[in-house]
Structure 1
Amino acid sequence: MGIGRSHITSFLVGCSLYECTWVQLVTQPWPGLADTVMFHRVFWTFPPCIEAFKHCKPLISIDGTHLYGKYGGTLFMAIVQDGNANILPIAFAVVEGETKEAWLFFLPYLCHHVTPKPGVLVISDRHKSIDGVLNADDSLWKPLHAFQKFCTRHIASNFMTHFKNKDLKKVLINAAYSKSQWEFAHYFRRLRGENEAITKWLDEMPRSQWAQFADEGRRFGHMTMNISECISTVMKGSQNFPIMAFVKSSYFRLGELFARKSSEVLAQL
């Protein structure tokens, strides 16, 4: 998408709908046109989201979903939940695709501007691009600042790709959800007895990243990325919007959400 230089400021003003909104826009040159650049990526977050995260569980679900407008691309979101099970997106990015470079753009800004406190848990699928960024030598998402966990449903899906056994998939899920080491060992032995290759495959992941008994309570019982997918469903109607319209839509929808939740709280007083 071409953006004239005079329009970049307008784009940022469109994103910065009120004071302290944080936006990072990245463009690239339009071939053959010295005064024109193309949209490449944008990250944004709103002050109420940053403030709200301070009062939520220290757990972030990150995910990407396709955009279906004229220019395509992928929407990244970071989602959190408070103690009353209210779900809130706290940061967004529109990028070219779910690549390592795109996650390397999104995750450092998320850490610096939205989730700077230590001890945060990040739950995601096992996409190699996410894993590569979270575990890079200079990553800001390593213990003790942050801890990485995997979504059980995505692990089960990967299991079916490799082993194609629905009955053993249920055993795997039971192992992941086990709350004690004894219970986990019971299901793990069943998997090993059926096919030792399964347990070797599972041992490629640290147990603390997929087994509930070993997560030190950091998951708060969140074994899947359901909170991300709930928000993806809510934002679904916006996935065909142009990028500026999508950014503004996220602002107005969040404004409605905060206003509604505020009214609900006041009604309880």
Structure 2
Amino acid sequence: MAGTVAVLKTSPVHVGGQLDESRAYFHRLFWTFPPCIEAFHHCKPLISIDGTHLYGKYGETLLIAIAQDGNSNILPVAFALVEGENAESWSFFISHLREHVTSQPGLLVISNRHNGIKAALEAPDGGWLPPSAYRAFCIRYVAANFAFTFKGKDARRLLVNATYAKTEVEFHYWFDILRSEDLAMCDWANRIEYSLWTQHCDEGRRFGHMTTNISECVNSILKGVRNVPVCSLVKATYGRLAELFVRKGREAEAQMGTGQQFSQHLVKCIEANLKTARCFTVTMYDRDNSEFTVAETTPTGSFSLGSYRVLLASQTCDCGYFQALHFPCPHALACCAYSRLTWEPYVHQVYRLSSVFSVYRMGFTPPIPEGFWPPYDGPIVIPDPNKRRAREGRSRSTRIRTNMDEADPNRPKRCGLCQQPGHTRRSCPQLGGAEHTRGHD
């Protein structure tokens, strides 16, 4: 496909101490496709990066950059096949990602706390330093590191609650409880800059995304092709992205045909805010600048839930939801109803259905058959035998296990063939005949 970006890095081959110029070892590969590059301009201004190990003959790692559109659909935008997660490989991936895909200023990168990612993002000439770009940590990894030092689910829950707090008052409420549990916990958290792991200090750049879970979703989708050769892996990403663009493009087009202006995700959020079972008393203080106070009470009016300042002009509310999620919170909707204003102008452009449709507007074209490729004049790229996995034994897992990897001990084991409890694959009744007999033997 014209416009496809593929950056291949090789290493020299030496035979008997002499350089073999006719061959080269495969080292690293970065690739992305034109529809992905164009689509990212209409997605949320953030990107999630993560790596996943491959299961083939060679110990390679697949690095992925994931974006999300205004309808909460995840979209892989770039890939890299490298020797492992280290400073050099992450620098290779992130530098080409910035050069070819994420050239917009002010982007947010969500990742784990890997030292290789840190070194690549903090490079002076990498283009990832503020104000060109900002970094944020995945809260799941922060909480896992915290739990490794301080045992107990209650302490971890308090840290996560403080992390998700959208206002400074709410953050200090949970942080003070954590301080009363153990002062050392607060000292541990204070060693990390607040803008990297708290929502109330991110200035709305996260759009509510606190983890790299969208990357984990793509990892599961690619699980079936993580043991195939390089060429098949690249073809798989091309084919599955082409299918994704067709399906999501048709969905967005069908929604636009109904006359809707905003994505289904936003419409559901607004409807939920409008149906909230609370009573609001709105007072206007400045008509020109649209400044209000909203007193919130229970439906019976017997209990006050607080008072909030709402500034529609600057799209802020004391509850923090307006500036964090970039669409009106219940208090802002109450102010719009009080002033007979429509809430549509206070929604971020990314949530508009026209933006979602633009994400998938540029489709993929059928790949050119290999017989019609132009002639290649260069060394033959071969796999590096030094990177081949050991033939015997199961490879040791380097994954850092978290609470999401913990299995339920009370869950019954199921057969790998029929998924029914009470027996295993070896004794499965579906095998039948001699195979079933051998399974019992």
The TM-score, its normalising length taken from structure 1, stands at 0.91
**2:11 maps to 1:28:** yes
Q: Output aligned runs, 1:103-252, within 5 Å.
A: 103-252=90-239
1:37 counterpart (17, 20, 24):
24
Structure 1 equivalent of residue 61 of structure 2? 74
String of CA shifts for 1:44-95, please: whole Å, max 9, x gaps: 0000000000000001000000011111210000000011111100000000
Paired with 1:155 and 1:42, the residues of 2 have a C-alpha distance of 30
AA in 2 matched with 1:103: W
Tell me, in whole angstroms, the C-alpha distance in 1 between the residues paired with 2:123 and 2:23. Answer: 34
Whole-Å separation in 1 of the counterparts to 2:123 and 2:52? 23
Q: Quick one: which amino acid aligns to residue 134 of structure 2?
A: F
2:88 corresponds to: 101
C-alpha separation between the residues in 2 aligned to 1:115 and 1:265?
24
Residue 237 (structure 1) shift: 0.7
Deviant stretches of 4+, over 6 Å: none
Greater share of residues in helix: 1
Letter of the structure 1 residue corresponding to residue 26 of structure 2? F
Name the counterpart of 2:407. Answer: none
**Secondary structure in structure 2 of the residue aligned to 1:214:** coil
Match for 1:26: what amino acid? Answer: K
Letter in structure 2 aligned against 1:254: L
Partner AA of 2:6 in structure 1: V
The match for 2:52 is 65
Question: Post-superposition shift, 1:261?
Answer: 1.5
1:19 aligns with 2:2: yes
How far apart are residue 135 of structure 1 and its match? Answer: 1.5
Larger radius of gyration: 2
CA distance in 1 between partners of 2:175 and 2:253 (Å): 49
- Percent identical across equivalent pairs? 54
Moved more, 226-235 or 90-99: 226-235
Separation in 2, partners of 1:99, 1:31:
25
Tell me the alpha carbon deviations over residues 121-166 of structure 1, each in whole angstroms, 9 at most, x when there is no partner. 0000111111121112333111111110001111010011111221
In structure 1, how many angstroms separate the alpha carbons of the residues matched to 2:253 and 2:123? 45
Instruction: Deviation per CA, 1:18-66: give whole Å up to 9, x if none.
Output: 1010010001012316022110000000000000000000010000000
Describe the superposition over 1:184-222 as per-residue Cα deviations: whole angstroms up to 9, x where unpaired: 011111222222222121112110110011111100000
Distance in 2 separating the partners of 1:266 and 1:176:
37
Tell me, which stretches of 5 or more residues in structure 1 are unaligned? 1-17
Aligned-partner residue type, residue 19 of structure 1:
A
Could you tell me how far apart the structure 1 residues matched to 2:245 and 2:123 are? 36
Give the C-alpha shift of residue 258 in structure 1.
0.7
In 2, Cα distance between equivalents of 1:204 and 1:266: 48
Deviation at 1:266, TM superposition (A): 3.0
Q: One-letter code of the match for 2:102? A: T
Aligned residue type for 1:31: H
2:41 equivalent in structure 1: 54
SS at match of 1:29: strand
1:85-96 alignment to 2 at 5 Å? 85-96=72-83
**Cα separation, 1, equivalents of 2:178 and 2:124:** 34
1: CA distance, partners of 2:159 / 2:185: 9
